[in-house]
Every structure is written in structure tokens, then in C-alpha cells.
A and B are shown apart, each in its own frame.
Chain A
Amino acid sequence: MLKLKVLPQPEVFLQLLPGFLQVQVLESLLGRIFTSDRQTCLQPLSGKLFLFRTPDGEIELFMHVDRQGLHIQARADEAPDVTICGDLLALTALCLGLEDTDTLFFSRRLLLTGDTSTGLMFKNILANLDFDLRAELDQHLGRRAAGTLWRMAAQATGAVAFLDQQLAHAGIAVGEKFGLSSAEKVKALKMELCSLSEEHAALKQQLERRPRPVRSTQAA
């Protein structure tokens, strides 16, 4: 079970990772989370091709489900049935069930085009999962790195919450953070805060030096 009280905000921990690792984390977490005993729940999605992409097109991941399970690849020969477009953090939040996803759609951070019924099925299947994100991260990054990351993200979350409070008192409604221009400002301020941490800088260096992990999911 997720220990909700100490869960850092997803955007914080994900942004603490260097770029190349961000996509890998998303990819392989999806693969790991949908272990064989969970894959039966994915069967309603069989035969459907999903595309996850960022608005600038920099990240594009295709996903499909068959009897063997979930497959993630960088390219596909056919047009996708469902396309979900959003910033990386929103996509992560959706796929890892880290946030209320309808809010992401309302605030225009996620857009679902194509076969809406399959997209909705996907969203609801994900929402029905309960998994231990911390344990998954432990497995992927190794216990120490994951632990440090988790702790720092929790600290940064505290700092971010403090910042949110300050902004709220200054008259900027927290709800407005989903508006485009305010969100950019808040994000930038938050990241400045995060980037001030020395420990963060040290961890990032450490991770850069690690050999890139072999991808455990199938690639095109």
C-alpha cells in the first residue's frame, strides 16, 4: 500500500532524475508494475495500440497489450488507437496512478484523442491498481539511491508545500497553478528551490556515472 502521508509529489522526485532516466523510469516502472498476475487486468486492452507523447513530440512511446502482457516500444507500424498527450509529469502521474487523473484532463495537462472508450478503460484499469511505488523504485534504482531520492523528494515536497502556502497568502489561488502561465511560474520557482540542494547535485552526479541499465521491457 502506498504510504500516502510521506509520498512526495511525483513531479518533484521525477525531476530530480537526470533526463535519460526519466523516460526509463516511466517505461520500466510500467513494465514492472504490470507483473504477470496483474496483466490479466490489462486484457480488455488487447489488440489496442496506445501512443503516449509530449506536446513537443520529444517523447513518444507506443504501448500495446497481448497475451504475453504489456509491451513498450519507441516506434510502431500502425496508427495508434488511443493517443494520450501531455507533459512528462502528467503522463507519469496517469500511468503510475499518482494523481487524480480527471483533474489532469480538466486542467488540459492531458489530452486523450482517438478511441475514447479504450482510453477510459485504460484510465480506470490503472486507477484500480494498488502498488507500492517505493518498493518498485527500490528494485529499479537500487535501495540506496531510491531511498535517498525518496527522502529528498519528501523534503522537497515539504519545501514546495511551504512555497505553495506563501503563494496562497500572496493571493494566488493554488487552484490557479493549473492555468498555463501561472503553472510555468510556479514550476520554475519550485525547480529553483530543488536545484539549490547540494545533496541533489551529488545524487544526480552519482546517477550520471552509473552504467545505463539494460532495458527490461521489449523494445521495437
Chain B
Amino acid sequence: MSTTDYTKPELVCPAGNLPALKAAVDAGGDTVYLGFRNASNARNFEGLNFSCEEAEEGIRYAHSRNAQVFVAVNTSPGPRNAADWTSSVDMAAELGADAVIISDIALLAYAKEKHPNLRRHLSVQASAGNYEALEFYAREFGIRRAVLPRILTLDAIREICSKSSLEIEIFASGGLCVMAEGRCWLSSYVTGDSPNMHGVCSPAHAVRFEEENDRLDVKLDGMLINRFAPGEAAAYPTLCKGRFEAAGKQGHVMEAPYSLNVLEMLPEIFAAGVQGLKIEGRQRNKHYVRTVVSTWRAAVDACAGDPDGYAVQKEWMTSLAATSEGGAHTTGAYEDAWR
């Protein structure tokens, strides 16, 4: 691998609230991404996200420290409340955000027309996993960057980077969505609320934790979706990572709750020309953000400084594993064998 062709990707860090935003910037994040308090973004949880004033302060804080802010308006505008989405885009422009992250084509068209100078990024919710789709979005809607679905292999990512005119951002760390995002109706099938329409997956109102002799049962809309043995690490109450029975076997029929962590693959990711490393976790607090961002900062700087001599440090792995769902990590779909 040539040592001259490496692009140092941006660290794009989650900010579920203002303290987390500041923690991310202070820990060395190049960019933070946030959402407003409505269904226009896919982490529409109670008490999370930014008011206009908080967003304004966050943008000021980030910009004064040479960090960027992207605003996620990445769910699907609804039949009667599409104004929540367009007004969120307007607000992002007004507050001086560096980009909006969008998946819906009508919203992309709106942003392009109303705010031509506001950078448009394609959200992972658009599930655009091939360069035909990506070039179409680039041509029609003038997007400059796309966040790739987490279900692509590194080979596929490499190919897209080489063929596409766009900047490419990939998820590097945190919660792993095993289904194509923006095309998953599992949550609404069980709870009535979905990421596309309501900005939530496994909404808290449908979740119940019940303990019996140290065994933890997790129910979603009254349906048992997981059972944790005494002492076993718990996970978010999502269906894709639940325990079920199929073909006579019980267990994680779909996916076990591991978190994504591509530290091992950094040199290859650099060489592929990836522009952004996205860290998942807007629902996490400032301590998680500080730990994870500072770990990734160290790793990315180490790799950029000496890509051929890069080696994953043990303390990075333990820091990330300690905060991750399931307590373990995987490179996920980036490796073929996972399928």
C-alpha cells in the first residue's frame, strides 16, 4: 500500500444534546451531527435532541473551534406534517449548519431550491448502496457526500469510492443496524411506530423490562423479544437483535447485539478514499461521546501519521468494548464472512 495516497477522513461524531456536542468537539471530533426535537430525524427519543437555541449555541461552539456541524433531517416527510421537515431544513440553513443530511427526494429537491448553498448529504436512511443510485442523487439533487449503508462489504465500499464523484462517509463505530436503514418496518410491525414516519425504532413507550430472579425479560408492545440470563450484558430492545425461535432453535435468529468497530480496518479504509468516519450514538451521553471520540481521534491520527506501521492499541479496544452494546464488537458486514 502506498503511503502517499492516504486521505485522513473526518471524524463525524454524534451529538444528542449540547453537553455531548461540546464533549465531541473537545475530544477532537472534526464534525458533529445533530437533530432537532421532532420526527424529522431518526433518533426522535424523549428528551433528546436540540432546540433551535441549543443548536445555535452548539454551532457557535463548534465553529469557534474549527469543527463542523451537520443537521440530520433524515426521515420521511409525512402526508400531513411535511412542514416539520422543510422547516427543519430552513432552520439548519438559518443557523449556519455546514450540511443537512437528508434521505427523502422531495426534501432534497426543496433544500436544493431553497438553500442552494447549503451542502446536502445523503443519509444512510436512503439505503443507497451502489454507484448508480449515488450518481443519480448527485446529478438530480446535487448531493456532495453520501453515508453508505452499513451492510456493504469493504470491497463494495472501495468500488464505490473509486467510481463515484461523491465524498463517501461510512459508519465506523457504535450500534450496528443489520437491516437496510430506511427500509425496515420491523418496529412499526410490532409497535406501530417506525423510523421513517416517526423517527424511532423500538420506541420507549412500547418497551417493558421485567426482572425475575435476576433474569431480565424485555417486552415490546407486550411481546417477549429477549431474555437475558443473570449477569449477562443487556442490549437495546430492538427486534433485529432479539432472541426468538426458528427452525427448532432458540437464539439470536437475526443478529446478536455486537457493536461496530472498524479500528482493524483503518489503513484499508484510508486507502479506499473514505472521507468521513461516522460514529453512531446520538442517544448516548457526553461521557460515551468523550471516550469514543478521543479513542477514535488517537487511532485516526496514529494511522494517518504512519499507515504502514499502524497497529490497533489494546486500550482503544477496551475503551470501546466497555461502552458498547453487547460488550463486544465486530467489523460487521464490512467483512463478507459475516453474511
Contact = CB atoms under 8 A, between A and B. Distances in A.
Asked if chains A and B are in direct contact (CB within 8 A), the reply is yes
Interface of A: 4, 44, 85, 97-103, 105-108, 111-113, 116-125, 127-130, 168, 173-175, 178-180
B211 interface: yes
26 contacts: A102-B283, A102-B325, A103-B323, A106-B324, A107-B234, A108-B216, A113-B209, A116-B204, A116-B205, A116-B208, A117-B204, A117-B205, A120-B46, A120-B47, A121-B47, A123-B47, A124-B17, A125-B47, A127-B47, A127-B285, A127-B286, A130-B22, A168-B318, A173-B321, A175-B322, A180-B230
Nearest to A105: B234
A168 B318 CA distance: 10
Interface in B163-184: none
Interface SS of A by simple majority: helix
A111 B46 contact: no
Contacts of A180: 230-231
Contact of B210 (A98, A101, A113, A122): A113
Contacts of A123: 47
B63 interface: no
Contacts of B18: 128, 130
Contact of B291 (A100, A125, A175): A100
Given A102-B283, A117-B205, A175-B322, 16 more contacts: A98-B287, A99-B287, A100-B291, A107-B327, A108-B228, A116-B205, A116-B208, A117-B204, A119-B204, A120-B47, A121-B47, A127-B17, A128-B17, A175-B321, A175-B327, A180-B230
A113 B284 CA distance: 20
Given A127-B16, A129-B19, A120 B45 contact: yes
A123 to B, nearest CB: 7
Contacts of B230: 180
B20 interface: yes
Contacts of B203: 117
Contacts of A124: 16-17, 45-48
Nearest to A119: B204
Contacts of A178: 233, 322, 327
B233 A108 contact: yes
Interface in B269-284: 283-284
Given A100-B288, A113-B209, A128-B18, A44 B47 contact: yes
A106 B17 CA distance: 21
A180 B229 CA distance: 12
B190 interface: no
A106 B47 contact: no
A135 B57 CA distance: 24
A108 B231 contact: yes
Contacts of B211: 85, 111, 113
In the A-B complex, the 7 residue pairs with the smallest Cβ-Cβ separation, listed nearest first, are A124-B47, A121-B46, A127-B285, A100-B288, A100-B287, A117-B204, A120-B204
